[in-house]
Chains A and B, each alone.
Chain A
Amino acid sequence: MDSALRQSIDRLAPIGRLLYDRGPRTLWERDTATLPGYLRRRRRAYLRFARTCIAPEAAEADRDPEDYDPRPLLLESGRRGFQSEFAVPPFGTMPLLALTGGKVLHAVLKAEEFCAACGGIGLSLLAHDLGIAPLLLSGHLPTIGRWLLPISHSNRRGSPVLAAFAITEPSAGSDVEESAGARRARVVTTARKVPGGYVLNGQKVFISGARHADVVSVFAVLERPDGTRGSVEADFTGFMVERDRSGYRVGRSEHKLGQRACDATELFFDDVFLPARNLIGTERSGWALNRNVLNYSRLPVAAIGLGIARGAVEAATDFARRTRLAGKPLLSYQEIQLGIADLWMDVMAMRGLVWQSARRRTPAQGVSSTAKAFCGDRAFAVATRAMGLMADHGYLTANRAEKAMRDARLNQIYEGTNQINRLALIEAIWESDLARAPWSLNPNVGSRSR
């Protein structure tokens, strides 16, 4: 704030001065100040961890993902309580007060901070949360007691048990993420009931974090009692599969454009016997469970996009601050200021949507899908624009914007392509807002309907 304006404010009446925000705080601090105290502390803790532990490893993990071992960081993240935030103490480290408000608000804060430092490492830390989400969302106490609590205890004790979430198949990606596709999906992973449990066969692809996962939550179509093939909608069922199960095989990890620190791996199931205790929740409840996992997970995925976009903006801002043109910092040129302002505005809008969506008690399909698709699209646009602002320096790896662009592109694809998420929004509001027209621009029609 310049001195003339400061003096002018000082001449305002006392109440007028109080109404004028003069804080020198950063945008980050201003947003943090709007959070309740327990989340303010947590957001700062996520930021510290991201800056001190994730950022230093980001470049190397992106350059050489084959040799990147996420376990040390997972161990440290678990030690700080970041890997067991799905349940409140004594079962987990979720803030107690989160029960009264948005249950994923802390998760979106974490996703933004981690992914502002590195989208790939951030994803590798968050993939575990996705892997255990079906356990919690099944609401099935025996499942929670058998699986979730031991995993939580291990992670806090310093011997991390990593989980991954497996739905996607070679011929069924987006199909199993929306209703119309599910009716005709070609899911090849099937389960057959046998004495004492189930036998699993099939294949999953692009599974985030599966290379290092100790347990995987797998969705399969359960054979019907008459021996006929089931459907996704009626017979989808979740199972926990441990890494050492006979017939379970971890295949190749894909070479991908971005978010490279987190593997996307094939899994094979060849007559894998699973005892009945490995069932997640109840038989044939998998379609609803799968959909609800997506309702919950799409908000952190939106926040991953937000974090990656913020990383790109910070990279561009940093570049404009330290680069000089004709003896002046780039940041002092109006065209650069306009561009940087565009980037920050996008990030602020994304954060507003994500936080607002995550404040709901229960994530809803339409809201989560909207946040996911919007932030995925904007993140890619922001990172691309950040590169353009930096001109030739934008495509250089050292300046970080190109990595953000590569990382952001995945957010338009995974957790349902953004086309599927748009259709998920339509599906979610079809009955309430679209098909029956609860409002009208014509006041006469509106008054009659009321």
Chain B
Amino acid sequence: MSPESEDLDLAAETVRRFGEHVQAVLFSGDAPDGNLDAVPDLIAEAAGMDILADAGPLRAGHEIGVWGRHILREGCRLSLLTLSMLGEVCAGLATAVHAQGIGALALDGSECVPSGATVGAGFLPAFGLALDRRTAPDVLHIERDAGGKHLKGRAHFILASGRPDWLVCFARDEGANGWAALAIPASGRGINLEQVGSRLGLRAVSQWHVTCERASVADEWVLVEGSDASGLLSRVMACDWLGQAAIALGAARRAVHDARDYAGGRYQGGRMIIEHAAIRLLLAQAEHDTALLASVLDEHADRPLDSQRPEDLLRWAIGARLAVGEHAQRAVTNCLQVFGGYGYMDDYGLSKRLRDVGVLASLHGGPDQLLLLLEDMASPGGDR
């Protein structure tokens, strides 16, 4: 069942109004990444408007927020639309909204995390992907002894809309025959959070490494185990990549819009620059790249997640994320080129978009890692 178009229109209108507000609040000053001090308040407003997913079932955001429970029945279209619209305004803030949604999605309907909590999902080893067999020794894992279950190891590059209150961690658990997904309080004993250092872009979202040193795991914190956990991990990773692609699409669309505006008003060589074939080719390529990414994202946007096999979802998501590197990045850099020297300066916002899509092209997996995972799934017996 696909979402009613009136519902989508209504949601899009809400997101559009929020986006205008974000634009006014974040970018009233000169800072190229916006007024980052305003991000917590904006996130709170997104929660108030039910754009942000909520961990608890009592708030509407739990159901209709980005990556809320509705995706199981209605597909990803609303989430992708919301993220691309926010990505047009600020890819970093869009990623913060996305991160909360991914954290909530990873909870898999569990009610062990209170409403209003900031949640981050941790599944990445230091290098590589959680689903890559070679990385298995490097990911978080569960140890069992007389004292119960303990979580050990590190998870990397966890996104969150602020400092996380709870972490949903995917850990190797030989006792549970593979994977386990568990929610742990981020302030718990044995849990150390460390902010990821200075980075290229997406500065409105916070990013963390977590170290677990024999952190005790209460039974009620275990969400799912075994094949259910690996299925959930696939779903979480897929939605993570799809959301990133949607945000990059938004950034690219805005870049095309701004470049077209600029080209229509800038005079050079005796003509408006839009009349030069060099500029028209750059814009046409950018439009084409943006349309391609949009079409990839559109492909299964209306299919309920409950009806998609995890490996199909992953294939779709990998295709979309690869398109970020190939198409969104090229669209934005071509648009920057339209501005000439002005595009390289912070004033026009193109440099920020280039930085942001530069991160999105490698976030939670580089292109080669994604390709190898795709090939791994295509190999006989490779479906997971």
B366:A410 contact, CB within 8 angstroms: no
- Report Cα–Cα, A206/B347, bound state, in Å: 13
* Identity of the chain B residue whose Cβ is nearest the Cβ of A405 in the assembled complex: B358
Name which of B40-48, B107-115, B266-274 contacts chain A: B266-274
Q: Which residues of A contact B271 (CB under 8 A)?
A: 184
Select which of B126, B267, B346 is within 8 A of A257 by beta carbon.
B346
A335:B269 contact, CB within 8 angstroms: no
B197:A396 contact, CB within 8 angstroms: yes
A390:B344 contact, CB within 8 angstroms: no
Select which of A183, A389, A395, A409 is within 8 A of B333 by beta carbon.
A409
Interface residue ranges of A319-349 to B (CB < 8 Å): 323-327, 330, 335-336, 339
B358:A391 contact, CB within 8 angstroms: no
A413:B344 contact, CB within 8 angstroms: yes
- Report Cα–Cα, A380/B368, bound state, in Å: 18
A419:B336 contact, CB within 8 angstroms: no
- Report Cα–Cα, A438/B362, bound state, in Å: 48
- Report Cα–Cα, A184/B269, bound state, in Å: 5
Q: Which residues of B contact A388 (CB under 8 A)?
A: 325, 361-362, 366-368
- Report Cα–Cα, A62/B340, bound state, in Å: 22
In the complex, which range does the number of interface residues on chain B fall in? 35 or more
Select which of B30, B199, B351, B361 is within 8 A of A256 by beta carbon.
B351
Name which of A170-178, A192-200, A238-246 contacts chain B: A170-178
A395:B200 contact, CB within 8 angstroms: yes
A389:B366 contact, CB within 8 angstroms: yes
Check A392/B351 contact, CB under 8 A, given A174-B269, A174-B340, A335-B368. no
Mask of B353-384 contacts with A, CB within 8 angstroms, 1/0: 01100110111111111001000000000000
A325:B358 contact, CB within 8 angstroms: no
Is B156 close to A, CB under 8 A?
yes
Q: Which residues of B contact A255 (CB under 8 A)?
A: 30, 32, 345-347
Interface residue ranges of A158-195 to B (CB < 8 Å): 168, 171-175, 180-181, 183-186
Mask of B319-350 contacts with A, CB within 8 angstroms, 1/0: 00000010001000100110011011111000
How near does chain A come to B358, taking the closest CB pair, in angstroms?
A: 6
B267:A394 contact, CB within 8 angstroms: no
Q: Which residues of A contact B176 (CB under 8 A)?
A: none
How near does chain A come to B265, taking the closest CB pair, in angstroms?
A: 12
Q: Which residues of A contact B128 (CB under 8 A)?
A: 325, 391
Check A394/B362 contact, CB under 8 A, given A171-B267, A171-B268, A326-B134. yes
Check A395/B268 contact, CB under 8 A, given A255-B346, A335-B368, A388-B325. no
* Identity of the chain B residue whose Cβ is nearest the Cβ of A205 in the assembled complex: B341
Mask of A226-251 contacts with B, CB within 8 angstroms, 1/0: 00000000000000000000000000
Is A412 close to B, CB under 8 A?
yes
* Identity of the chain B residue whose Cβ is nearest the Cβ of A419 in the assembled complex: B278
Check A184/B200 contact, CB under 8 A, given A257-B355, A325-B134, A414-B341. no
Q: Which residues of A contact B157 (CB under 8 A)?
A: 392
Q: Which residues of B contact A183 (CB under 8 A)?
A: 270
Q: Which residues of B contact A181 (CB under 8 A)?
A: 268-270
Select which of A185, A256, A330 is within 8 A of B345 by beta carbon.
A256
Is B201 close to A, CB under 8 A?
yes
Is B10 close to A, CB under 8 A?
no
Check A327/B366 contact, CB under 8 A, given A184-B269, A256-B345. no
How near does chain B come to A258, taking the closest CB pair, in angstroms?
A: 8
Q: Which residues of B contact A393 (CB under 8 A)?
A: 127
Check A398/B197 contact, CB under 8 A, given A257-B346, A327-B137, A390-B366. yes
Is A112 close to B, CB under 8 A?
no
| Number of interface residues, chain A, beta carbon within 8 A | 56
Is B5 close to A, CB under 8 A?
no
Is B58 close to A, CB under 8 A?
no
B362:A392 contact, CB within 8 angstroms: yes
- Report Cα–Cα, A409/B341, bound state, in Å: 11
Select which of A171, A172, A387 is within 8 A of B358 by beta carbon.
A387
How near does chain A come to B177, taking the closest CB pair, in angstroms?
A: 21
How near does chain B come to A326, taking the closest CB pair, in angstroms?
A: 4
Select which of B134, B156, B200, B363 is within 8 A of A397 by beta carbon.
B200
Check A185/B196 contact, CB under 8 A, given A325-B135, A392-B362, A402-B358. no
B199:A395 contact, CB within 8 angstroms: yes
Q: Most B CB atoms within 10 A — which of A184, A185, A412, A419?
A: A419
How near does chain B come to A275, taking the closest CB pair, in angstroms?
A: 32
- Report Cα–Cα, A126/B268, bound state, in Å: 28
Check A389/B347 contact, CB under 8 A, given A397-B199, A398-B198. no
Check A391/B369 contact, CB under 8 A, given A171-B268, A184-B269, A256-B346. yes
Q: Which residues of A contact B135 (CB under 8 A)?
A: 325-326
Is B182 close to A, CB under 8 A?
no
- Report Cα–Cα, A417/B268, bound state, in Å: 13
- Report Cα–Cα, A409/B339, bound state, in Å: 13
Is B312 close to A, CB under 8 A?
no
B363:A384 contact, CB within 8 angstroms: no
Mask of B217-257 contacts with A, CB within 8 angstroms, 1/0: 00000000000000000000000000000000000000000
- Report Cα–Cα, A326/B138, bound state, in Å: 7
Check A396/B198 contact, CB under 8 A, given A326-B134, A391-B369. yes
Q: A173-B341, A330-B127, A392-B366 provided; 20 other pairs, C-beta below 8 A?
A: A171-B267, A175-B269, A181-B269, A254-B345, A255-B346, A258-B344, A325-B134, A384-B329, A384-B358, A387-B361, A389-B366, A392-B157, A394-B362, A402-B358, A409-B333, A413-B337, A413-B344, A417-B340, A418-B337, A419-B337
Can you identify 29 A-B contacts, CB atoms within 8 angstroms?
Answer: A172-B268, A173-B341, A186-B267, A206-B341, A254-B345, A255-B32, A258-B344, A323-B127, A324-B127, A326-B135, A327-B137, A335-B372, A336-B368, A384-B361, A390-B362, A391-B365, A392-B156, A392-B364, A394-B362, A394-B366, A395-B200, A402-B358, A405-B358, A406-B355, A409-B344, A409-B354, A412-B337, A413-B341, A418-B337
Chain A residues with a Cβ under 8 A of chain B: 63, 168, 171-175, 180-181, 183-186, 205-206, 254-258, 264, 323-327, 330, 335-336, 339, 380, 384, 387-398, 402, 405-406, 409-410, 412-414, 417-419, 423
Chain B residues with a Cβ under 8 A of chain A: 30, 32, 124, 126-128, 134-138, 156-157, 196-201, 267-271, 278, 282, 325, 329, 333, 336-337, 340-341, 343-347, 351, 354-355, 358-359, 361-369, 372
The 6 closest A-B pairs by CB, nearest first: A184-B270, A391-B366, A181-B269, A257-B351, A397-B198, A419-B278
